[in-house]
């Protein structure tokens, strides 16, 4: 018997679209289901000024198929040379909705990120003043810190002190991966939110390493042990408005994923709604799905929820392509390792 669920059209609060041929290939995969997305600025070179963000937005809209409706929500890449006035002007014009903090070297194309946080204090104070959100990749890059501890150490060493010295700064901890991060959000005020990815709701570190290395499950922050995955599922399905969907869908061609030094990232844009619906259904929390996917994010970013609706249907297992084709090469679609019964009608 077919089961249906109607909810407001969802948004993706953390998305990589890349540029050029890859942008053309992956954009329709997101725009098919999502109305808006926070667009990551870690291109080469990164999007660091309002003018660059405007040009990137124009390239995105030019690549959007004519029969699709989608709004890219632009961000600036925070560097130690970022001009507070440029940030404020880009925000005032409505061009950008956030600034992205990458600790230098934390993930793909993050070499231009921040090393000395004292050098960005002026930008953060201006953002607190105007209510502009700071999105953080919450990991330290100290080589002495174990990769599985980077998120926990970041909260203690960087994020909590940064928030204490910048009162009023609105922060989104992106793609949280630990129970400690979820607890930190719960214990904080409403100026702190967190995105959770579809893949971190599904995989733990065993999926990456047991029985051979699975490069298409390798992402940053890396998936942690099962107890942390369970905690993330609990946070996502709790109804707490501070947690919302940010896929961190990150396309890399198969040769770049499957090389001797494979790129980090899971490409989930194609099947995200099936993935999260399956997780919420398993937890008996379908009544919380609309909040996580469609309501909590807009509320945090002080934007209206989408009026348009989508309908999910549960039935026979859904088939998705193993790859999408891009002008740069094939991109593998995330495979959860179990049947998906929910699809967007």
List, by residue number, the catalytic residues.
248
To the question of whether residue 137 is assigned a binding role by annotation, the answer is: yes
To the question of whether residue 228 is assigned a binding role by annotation, the answer is: no
Write out the chain in H/E/C secondary structure: CCEEEEEECCCEEEECCCCHHHHHHHHHHHHCCCCEEEECCCCCCCCCCHHHHHHHHHHHHHHCCCCCCCEEEEEEECCCCCCHHHHHHHHHCCCEEEEEECECCCCCCCCCCECCHHHHHHHHHHHHHHCCEEEEECCCCCCCCCHHHHHHHHHHHHHHHHHHHCCCCCEEEECCCCHHHHHHHHCCCCCEEEEECCHHHCCCHHHHHCCCCCHHHCCCCCCCCHHHHHHHHHHHCCCCCCEEECCCECCCCHHHHCCCCCCCCCCCCCCHHHHHHHHHHHCCCHHHHHHHHHHHHHHHCCCCCCCCEEEEEECCCCCCCCEEEECCEEEECCCCCCCCCEEEC
To the question of whether residue 200 is assigned a binding role by annotation, the answer is: no
To the question of whether residue 175 is assigned a binding role by annotation, the answer is: yes
Measured from the Cβ of residue 244, the count of other Cβ atoms closer than 10 Å reads: 28
* CA-to-CA dists, residue 304 to 11, 189, 297, 299, 300, angstroms: 11, 21, 10, 7, 10
To the question of whether residue 14 is assigned a binding role by annotation, the answer is: yes
To the question of whether residue 264 is assigned a binding role by annotation, the answer is: yes
Q: At what angle do helices 84-92 and 50-63 cross, to 10 degrees?
A: 40
To the question of whether residue 220 is assigned a binding role by annotation, the answer is: yes
- Token digits for 279? 């997780």
- Calculate ∠ Cα 57-61-63, nearest 5°: 120
To the question of whether residue 229 is assigned a binding role by annotation, the answer is: no
**CA–CA separation, 199 and 197 (whole Å):** 5
To the question of whether residue 335 is assigned a binding role by annotation, the answer is: no
Binding region for substrate: 16-18, 42, 137, 220, 252, 264
Binding region for Zn(2+): 14, 16, 100, 137, 175, 248
Binding region: 14, 16-18, 42, 100, 137, 175, 220, 248, 252, 264
């Amino acid at each position: 018997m077919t089961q249906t669920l109607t909810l407001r059209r969802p948004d993706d609060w953390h998305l990589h679209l890349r540029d050029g041929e890859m942008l053309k290939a992956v954009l329709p995969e997101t725009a098919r289901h999502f109305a808006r997305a926070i667009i990551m600025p870690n291109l080469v070179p990164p999007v660091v000024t309002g003018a660059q963000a405007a040009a990137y937005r124009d390239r995105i809209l030019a690549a959007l198929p004519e029969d699709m409706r989608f709004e890219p929500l632009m961000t600036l890449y925070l560097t130690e040379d970022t001009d507070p006035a440029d940030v404020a002007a880009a925000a005032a014009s409505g061009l950008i909705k956030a600034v992205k903090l990458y600790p230098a070297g934390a993930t793909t194309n993050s070499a231009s990120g921040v090393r000395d946080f004292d050098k960005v204090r002026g930008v953060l104070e201006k953002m607190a003043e105007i209510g502009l959100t700071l999105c953080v990749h919450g990991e330290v890059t100290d080589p002495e810190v174990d990769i599985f501890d980077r998120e926990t150490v970041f909260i203690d060493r960087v994020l909590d002190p940064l928030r204490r010295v910048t009162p009023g700064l609105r922060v989104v901890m992106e793609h949280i991966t630990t129970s400690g991060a979820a607890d930190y959000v719960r214990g904080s005020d409403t100026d702190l939110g967190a995105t959770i990815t579809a893949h971190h709701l599904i995989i733990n570190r065993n999926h990456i390493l047991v029985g051979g290395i699975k490069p298409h499950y390798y992402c940053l922050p890396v998936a942690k042990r099962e107890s942390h995955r369970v905690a993330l599922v609990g946070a996502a399905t709790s109804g707490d408005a501070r947690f919302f969907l940010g896929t961190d869908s990150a396309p890399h061609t198969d040769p770049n994923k499957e090389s001797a030094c494979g790129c980090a990232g899971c490409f989930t844009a194609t099947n995200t709604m099936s993935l999260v619906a399956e997780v919420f259904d398993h937890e008996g929390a379908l009544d919380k799905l609309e909040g996580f996917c469609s309501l909590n994010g807009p509320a945090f970013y002080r934007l209206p929820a989408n009026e348009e609706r989508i309908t999910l249907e549960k039935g026979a297992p859904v088939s998705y392509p193993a790859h999408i084709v891009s002008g740069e090469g094939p991109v593998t679609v995330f495979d959860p390792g179990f049947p998906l019964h929910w699809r967007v009608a």
